[in-house]
Each structure stands twice: as structure tokens, then as C-alpha cells.
Amino acid sequence: MRTCTDCGQTKPLVDFTPIKGTRWTHTRCKPCRAARARASQPPRAAKPYVPPGVRICTACGLVKPLDEFTPTNGATYRKKICKPCRAAAAKATYHHRPLSRPKRQLATERTCTECGVMKPIDSYTRIKSTKTSVYGRCRSCRNARACALSQQSSGSSSRNCPSDS
């Protein structure tokens, strides 16, 4: 037997909630603990009466027939927001995106990263994987570098490379 600290009644230990992980029980009885928990929660608003076959849309607040609500799982359950409100919300979600991006103007000239000379864009080899869509070195610098590398690896001059003499 134990006395509840809220109501002051002496009750058997079965009426007190056990504390998990210990052999002890709470000092308030189960009904007093439940009443205290209910009192700490804000009161719920009463649901308005809605006749069968209609529903109140949570977005616009209008009473509409069930056909205006999308079925969720078969024909038994339906969404809480009506079809026009759902369509407006979906449209608002995607409205901020532009329909098409403006085309970027390609540069007409570029400075070579190796020789430092400003040359027309036609003097560069095109590549799609970069933002500028051309290599950083001009064709003549790229060719000179490729010839130098091939001469180093083979030890002889290539027939496509211009001679240094």
C-alpha cells in the first residue's frame, strides 16, 4: 500500500506506475498522473460538424464535396486540401523558375596562358568541358609543347614538328 502525493488516498502498489529500469514506483497514482498530463496540454479546438459526403479544405476553409479532394489510398481516404488549392500550391512551387536561361555571349578574343598574346578565339582549340569552351593555350603554343614532349619521349625529331634551326 502507498499514499498518493496528489490526492492523498492510500492505494495498492498496482495503482502506481513503475519507474523504468528501477524497482521503484512514481509517488502519484495512475489517475493523478494522467490528469496532470492532460492539464499540461493545451485544450483541443472542437471539430466543426460536417455532414457525410463533404469535407472542409484546410487551405481555403471552404466546405466542398468529396469529389473535390484527391483520394490517397483507394476510395476510403482523401487528402485534406482540395484539388484547386493543391494545384495552386504546386504551381507556386515551380513558378519562381525561369522558363529558359539567357544564352551566354561567347568571347571573341582571349589571352593565351603560355605566350600571353591576345588572339582571336579561332586561334584556340575548342573544348566543351570548360566554361570558356576553349583551351587556355593557343594552337601554336599547344603544338609547340606537344612537339617538345614527343621529341623528349622518342629522342628524335618528329616529321610534323617544325625544326628549331
Read off the amino acid at residue 39: A
On average, the pLDDT of the chain sits at: 85
Domain holding 30, by residue range, is 2-37
- For the entire predicted model, the pTM comes to 0.36
Domain count, the chain: 3
pLDDT digits (tens, 9 = 90+) for 5-55: 999 999 999 999 999 999 999 999 999 999 999 999 998 888 888 888 899
Alpha-helical (H) ranges within 1-154 are 30-40, 83-95, 139-154
Distance CA 147, CA 151 (A): 6
